[in-house]
């Protein structure tokens, strides 16, 4: 590219500052935004493919920086404590109920997967240490942990129907069989 960063600074600095200052009343904030704009220009200059689009590209970056400035200043509303507290308490109760099923399911796993899951997930042993203690490769240890997780997931899915919220958080479950209901 023929255009150098120093040339852009010399040619556009004053105009961009005036452009920003028209949209932001605080002179110090305007200077900060200008610095951010030139940092973005410097970081992305190599991605500009058409030098004829340089002015519009620079002003688009500047507009985005001004928008980001106002977004960052927008106060966020916090939820009332009772809303978040109820959600956490509910999630914890569902998880506690399901935790009762976890150990019997782990016990039902084949030996090599049960050992890998207990060491990794319950005792917190790093997978490379599991590999050493079991005299297997690291890849094999990782595979056993992943397969053990999949088997546990399948056991849970065979046992219960789960309901998740839009964020993927567990909201509720419904046992599929009497054995699951007796375990809780």
- Mean predicted lDDT score pLDDT of the chain: 81
Quote the CA–CA distance of 115 and 107 in Å, as a whole number: 9
Q: Is the pLDDT of residue 34 over 70?
A: yes
Residue 176: the pLDDT is: 76
Q: Which residues contact 1 (CB under 8 A, 6 or more apart)?
A: 45, 46, 48, 51
Percent composition of the chain: helix, strand, coil (DSSP 3-state, to 5): 75, 5, 20
Of 110, 131, 109, whose CA–CA distance to 120 is shortest? Answer: 131
Of 73, 4, 3, 1, whose CA–CA distance to 32 is shortest? Answer: 73
Q: Which two tokens stand for residue 103?
A: 């150990």
Q: Which two tokens stand for residue 158?
A: 């065979």
Tens-place pLDDT, residues 96-115: 777 777 888 889 999 999 99
The domains found in the chain, sorted by start residue, are: 5-73 (1.10.1740), 81-183 (1.10.10.10)
Q: Is the pLDDT of residue 1 over 70?
A: no
Q: Is the pLDDT of residue 87 over 50?
A: no
Specify the range with the lowest mean pLDDT, choosing from 49-63, 84-98, 140-154: 84-98
Residue 4: the pLDDT is: 82
Quote the CA–CA distance of 128 and 116 in Å, as a whole number: 11
In b/e form, how buried is each residue of 35-73, taking b as 16+ CB within 10 angstroms?
A: ebbbebbeeebeeeeeeeebeebbeebbeebbeebeeee
Long-range own/partner contacts, residues 28-33 (CB < 8 A, 24 or more apart): 29/69, 33/62, 33/65, 33/66, 33/69
Tens-place pLDDT, residues 130-161: 999 999 999 999 999 999 999 988 988 888 88
């Amino acid at each position: 590219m023929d255009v150098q960063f120093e040339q852009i600074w010399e040619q556009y600095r004053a105009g961009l500052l005036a452009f920003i200052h028209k949209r932001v009343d605080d002179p110090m904030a305007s200077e900060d935004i200008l610095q951010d704009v030139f940092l973005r220009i410097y970081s992305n200059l190599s991605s500009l493919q058409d030098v004829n689009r340089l002015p519009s590209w620079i002003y688009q970056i500047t507009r985005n920086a001004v928008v980001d400035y106002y977004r960052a200043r927008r106060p966020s509303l916090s939820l009332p404590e009772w809303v978040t507290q109820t959600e956490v308490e509910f999630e914890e109760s569902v998880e506690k109920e399901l935790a009762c099923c976890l150990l019997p399911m782990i016990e039902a796993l084949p030996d090599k997967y049960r050992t890998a899951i207990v060491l990794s997930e319950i005792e917190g042993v790093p997978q490379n240490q599991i590999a050493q203690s079991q005299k297997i490769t690291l890849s094999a240890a990782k595979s056993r942990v992943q397969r053990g997780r999949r088997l546990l997931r399948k056991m849970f899915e065979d046992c219960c129907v789960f309901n998740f919220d839009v964020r993927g958080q567990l909201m509720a479950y419904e046992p599929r069989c009497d054995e699951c209901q007796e375990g809780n």
